[in-house]
Structure 1
Amino acid sequence: MTAVRPGLVDWAPTTLPALYDVQVGHRRTHPLENAFEYGGYLWLVDLDDLPRLPRGLRWAARFTAADHLGDPAAPIKDNVVRFAALHGVDDVARVVMMANARSGPHVFNPLSTHWCYRSDGSLACIVAEVHNTYGERHAYLLHPDDAGRAEAEKDFYVSPFNTVDGRYLMRFSGPGDQLHVTMALQVGGRTPFVATLRGRARAAGTGTVVRTILRWPLMSLWVAALIRWQGIRLWARRLPVVPRPPHDPVPGVSTNAPRQHSQHANEDRS
């Protein structure tokens, strides 16, 4: 990777495709406290060169446009580039995506991150694509500073325990050998919810992919079930439920995402 000055983010990606061994943490502090952490894995792929797994493994890891923003009949990269252009960034040459792959009939991506690069290798923007469990998706176009910090007004209903009010304070590393992502929700001077993701990359060779799938079969379902359980705990503690408002997607994001996860709830997300 290219060396950078201390304190600045090196946006250069690791060798692709890769798998991140990740630890994800959720911490709620208001109006009651709740925290949990889980492990798993995520893919990191170049959208110009998606993984070509052996035939017997393709059921376990597929990337399809219907699972992401934009036109389900177009390549994922084309849709990300179009979304960026619609929101003022028209010099995207390369896109590196971190996401869950579709495994069998299932996929669930609470957050898919797209690092968008210019032809000279510099970072043009980050597209943070968020899915909820009601068949809806949203995306935020971000311009992180040299330390990886970015902000965005919250504009999407994710958790039935939070309104659509507030502002996200985010911090991203580059998609390198080590990964760090933080998303903090600020509402009225408070920070009621913080999500963190830490990861370490491994080259996605066939043996590594097989071992990872055997360790974490049906990863999306497992994560959704765990988050649902946390939501049940919050409901049992009488945390008020916020009605879901109508969702009007921003340009470049399709109205509805496929309902692949059978209403698996993300109740303790922001």
Structure 2
Amino acid sequence: MVNALYPCTITHVRTAPRRYALRHRTYLWLIDPDRPPRLPHLLRPLARFDARDHFGGTAPTVRAGLERFLLAQGVELAGGAVTMLTQARVLGHVFNPLTVYWCHRQDGAPLCVVAEVHNTYGERHAYLLRTDEAGRAATAKDFYVSPFFPVDGAYRMRLPEPGPRLNLTVHLEREDARPFTATVRGTRRPGTPAQLVRLFLRHPFSTAVVSAAIRLHGVRLFLRRLPVQPRPRHRTQEGMQ
């Protein structure tokens, strides 16, 4: 069983067109999507994991949505285990800037990693990654996230599967530079009801706060006269319907 909590710090650092940094504290879940946490009835509103919040939102389960996406990319999970790092739905609200799925073969060997990105416009995009032993992979940027960056360049990611520590890094590379870097750093805690209550009291309404913070920082950047890039029409990926 996976089901762990990670109190963590998320940082965003921009170096172009102007330097700007933000830091936000929250908590993330690492779960087996086939066996999500079984919480007492009164605590269930604090952590729901709904299939509607991932991929196309139409699959009966999160795992089914993941398998549908992978099959469209020519990858068969074939009963292998999956671990999922995500924000839960808290008091009816969810916002997941990044959800990561570590997919394994039936013998436990790594198969692939899926990085599912959500923007503040309600759109979703998933990247299929073939990581090396250190969890590193590169992929072209295909999705509009920040209104201050166009859809070009590439991501270099380091996404090792979490253990006692959570340590993720995403670099945006454009024109031989790295104008944006995001990191997630945290320490594993047991995914128990008592730990969830402690973290909720420390970070109440965590998903709504993350969503509001991203928008607030966007307003600050706009007031600093950063040019807004036009948002192209999002083309739904195969397997995300």
Counterpart for residue 43 of structure 1: 29
Deviation at 1:91, TM superposition (A): 3.4
CA distance in 1, matches of 2:49, 2:11: 25
Does the aligned pair in 2 maintain the 1:59–1:103 contact within 8 Å?
yes
Q: Is the alpha carbon distance of 1:82 and 1:73 closer, same or farther for their aligned partners in structure 2, counting shifts above 3 Å?
A: closer
Whichever residue aligns with residue 25 of structure 1, its letter is T
Counterpart for residue 83 of structure 2: 96
Deviation at 1:179, TM superposition (A): 1.3
Deviation at 1:81, TM superposition (A): 1.8
User: Which of 26, 30, 44 is the aligned partner of 2:12?
Assistant: 26
Larger deviation: 68-77 or 239-248? Answer: 68-77
TM-score relative to the length of structure 1: 0.86
Does the aligned pair in 2 maintain the 1:16–1:203 contact within 8 Å?
no
Describe the superposition over 1:53-83 as per-residue Cα deviations: whole angstroms up to 9, x where unpaired.
1000111110100000135241111111221
Unaligned runs of 5+ in 2: none
2:188 match: secondary structure: strand
CA distance in 2, matches of 1:91, 1:229: 39
Deviation at 1:136, TM superposition (A): 0.8
Runs (4+) of structure 1 moved beyond 3 Å? Answer: none
Describe the superposition over 1:98-142 as per-residue Cα deviations: whole angstroms up to 9, x where unpaired.
111101121000000011111111110011000111121000000
Aligned CA RMSD, in angstroms, stands at 1.2
Counterpart for residue 194 of structure 2: 207
Does the aligned pair in 1 maintain the 2:120–2:211 contact within 8 Å?
no
Counterpart for residue 86 of structure 1: 72
TM-score relative to the length of structure 2: 0.96
Does the aligned pair in 1 maintain the 2:148–2:226 contact within 8 Å?
yes
Deviation at 1:238, TM superposition (A): 0.2
CA distance in 2, matches of 1:141, 1:53: 31
- Tell me how many residue pairs correspond in the alignment: 240
1:85 match: secondary structure: helix
CA distance in 1, matches of 2:161, 2:45: 29
Whichever residue aligns with residue 43 of structure 2, its letter is L
User: Which of 30, 50, 59 is the aligned partner of 1:64?
Assistant: 50
Counterpart for residue 226 of structure 1: 213
Does the aligned pair in 2 maintain the 1:103–1:218 contact within 8 Å?
yes
